[in-house]
Amino acid sequence: MKKILNLIICLTLVLTIFQPSLAFATDTQWWDDAYIENGNPLIKVSKDGLWGYIDQSGKVVVNTYWNNVWPYSENRALFTKYTMYGFLNEYGKIIIAPDWGYAESFSDGLALVMLNNKYGFIDNSGKVVIELKYDDAESFSDGLAVVTVNNKKGYIDKTGNFVIQPIYEHAESFSNGLARIGQGNLVGLIDKTGKTISIPVWDDIGTFYEGYASVEKSGKFGFIDKTGKTIIEPIWDDAVSFSQGLALVCKNNLWGFVNNLGKEIIKPQFEYASLFINDIAIVRKDGKYGFINKTGTSLSSTMWDSLYSFSEGLAAVELNGKYGYVDIYGNTMCQPKYENANSFSEGLAAVKIDGKWGYINKSGNIVIKPVWDFAGKFNNGVAIIKKDNKYSFIDAKGNFSFLPLVISNELKAMGTLGLMIGDGYGLTPRYSIKTSTRMQGAIMVLRLKNLENNASTFTGTSNFNDVNLQTWEVGKTIMAYLKQNKNIGFIGDELGNFNPNQMMTEKQYIKVMLENLGYINNVDFTWNSVEEFAKSIGIIPSNNSTFTNDDLAKTTIKFLNTNTKTGEKLIDQLVRTGAVSKEKAVKAGLVQ
């Protein structure tokens, strides 16, 4: 029974124009797999088939070095290296070497270990405190552990002494003072002194909930209490457990509910029924799902093809292959229109639109664009997402949650070319995840055109109406130059504003870069066809929810490797015109 469930950069002076909408983020923190485990504050991640843990800030706590790793228990994390088991301390360092053929996580201060097919227990330093002499064993629970000697099972305490002698053919761990034991094919209950609470007369005994456990005898089900007394005779074809004072029972393949006296409160009539949670149970009748209260009254006038558990007052429903949401009163809060939908968590729910996952709020508004191949539930402000078979993490605004470990190769190349400089700390991971502003995008384009010096020293006085939003004096000069030279691509809005601090969108930047390739707006392409035209020449938009400095670098590198309208590769044109030195272009790996 031993199972471990298993562009761009401005000068330093430009710092005042940054709009840091991402607290953290990621480029290199893409993982091959990731899990947020219930109750575990750490996030399990995998690279190259090996596992580790990161914390809620993205910091690596346990390096991805282990064949498997389990959640911390009592400041120790169980791991395997190849086929052997060991333990890590709270800093992710080996404290107990992987010398064991089998082990389980620490429980009640001790960990079960096995070597050479004999079981015993170690303390948190790795010292053997109960000799490895048992044929089988379970972890400690309620201060006692099941052990097997000569095919008989009993219970020992943490000194290794038998409290209950090994006389049973079957025995399970204690929970809340009771344990299931068995002789032959029959099951009973004992307490921690070994006193028989229920003699082995049952074919099976379920887990206790609300003081009662289901029992099975000759294919019929009933319930007993913790004294072993039968409170509901085994007359039912099936039974689950009690929840909120009612037990789910089955007769002739139909489900209903009884109280602890065995009285039918809701007659068996449903093809399926869930336990009551928050006074609501999901039921299926005539192939359709709805939900009822504890009197059996239907709370939903509409019957659904599928109905999922309520979370934060809303439940996902399916009708005719589309998904929406209803509240606990049966009101449709969001009409079925999504390809798929998950439960709400922390105010957001993942929904699938056109084959991609995004997030909506409880008003049904999309708050994170559907761009992901997978989107998990939010937990402590973080959700796992998947793109191109890699996993990462976003916050409730759709921004990447964790700071990358290193900058991308594209951002490094842009630095080598001198096209991106970074903030006061250079091209750093934190810089890479900041969103690019329109002013930054404009400076990038000026550098590509070798016009940055011209723009910085421009003496014209006509400017955009919102020039005072730009506190950097050179930035104001650049804005005047852009207004005077509309052919550069930054023409402002219909109110005569440039919006220098507004986040640059990917579409805006692609449009300007297409013009850098020599294509003409409203001739070769239109604003509405920017992305499709870009795809036609090999530029595939990323469609990320935000456009970061790293995205800007990657997009620029794509364009540098693309031919202009006249057929010359853009990077070759920049080298030929002197905008970029050939030496730097070679070092960046863009030319030979």
DSSP result, 418-482:
TS---BTTBS-HHHHTSBPBHHHHHHHHHHHTT-HHHHHT-------TTGGG--SHHHHHHHHHH
For the chain, residues with pLDDT lower than 50 are 1-28
CA–CA gap between residue 204 and residue 215 (Å, rounded)? 6
Strand pairing category for 84-88 and 94-100:
antiparallel
Residues 126, 127, 129, 131, CA torsion sign: positive
Residue 84, Cβ neighbours under 10 Å: how many? 16
CA 235/CA 246 separation, integer angstroms:
16
* Burial bucket for residue 326 (CB in 10 Å: 0-12, 13-18, 19+): buried
Residue 519 CA to residue 566 CA, distance in Å, equals 9
Largest distance between two CA atoms of the chain: 98
Q: Are 153 and 170 in contact (CB under 8 A)?
A: yes
pLDDT attached to residue 405: 62
Q: Give the domain ranges of the chain.
A: 34-134, 409-587
Report the candidate in 517, 589, 507 with the shortest Cα–Cα distance to residue 559. Answer: 517
User: How far apart, in Å, do the first and last CA atoms of the chain sit?
Assistant: 63
**In terms of pTM, does the model score above 0.95?**
no
**So what's the pLDDT on residue 185?**
93
Helix (H, G, I), strand (E, B) or coil at 416: helix
| Torsion over CA: 89, 93, 97, 102 (sign) | positive
Q: How far apart are CA 336 and CA 245, in angstroms?
A: 33
Q: What confidence score (pLDDT) does residue 454 get? A: 93
Residue 128's contacts (CB-CB under 8 Å, 6 or more residues apart) are 113, 120, 121, 122
553 and 410 Cβ atoms separated by less than 8 Å: yes
β-partners of residue 298 are 292
Residues 537 and 510: their CA atoms lie apart, in Å, by 12
What pLDDT shows up at residue 404?
A: 64
State which amino acid sits at residue 468.
N
Residues 6+ apart with CB under 8 A from 576: 568
- 64, 48 in Cβ contact below 8 A? yes
Q: Buried b / exposed e across 433-463, counting CB within 10 Å, b at 16+?
A: bbbbbbbbbbbbbbbbbebbeebeebeeeeb
For residue 7, the model assigns a pLDDT of: 28
β-pairing, 238-243 with 246-251?
A: antiparallel
Contact 57, 434 (CB under 8 A): no
How many C-beta neighbours within 10 Å does residue 142 have? 16
C-alpha distances (whole Å) from 361 to each of 272, 340, 344, 358, 401 are 30, 15, 8, 11, 19
Burial of 63 (0-12, 13-18, 19+ CB in 10 A): middle
Read off the pLDDT of residues 166-207 as tens digits, 9 standing for 90 and up.
999 999 999 999 999 999 999 999 999 999 999 999 999 999
CA atoms within 13 A on the CB side of 459: 0
Distance CA 478, CA 454 (A): 9
Instruction: Evaluate whether 87 touches 77 at the Cβ level (below 8 Å).
Output: yes
Q: What is the pLDDT of residue 56?
A: 74
Place of tokens 């890699």: 390
Residue 517 in contact with residue 379, Cβ under 8 Å?
A: no
Q: Which two tokens stand for residue 80?
A: 């395997």
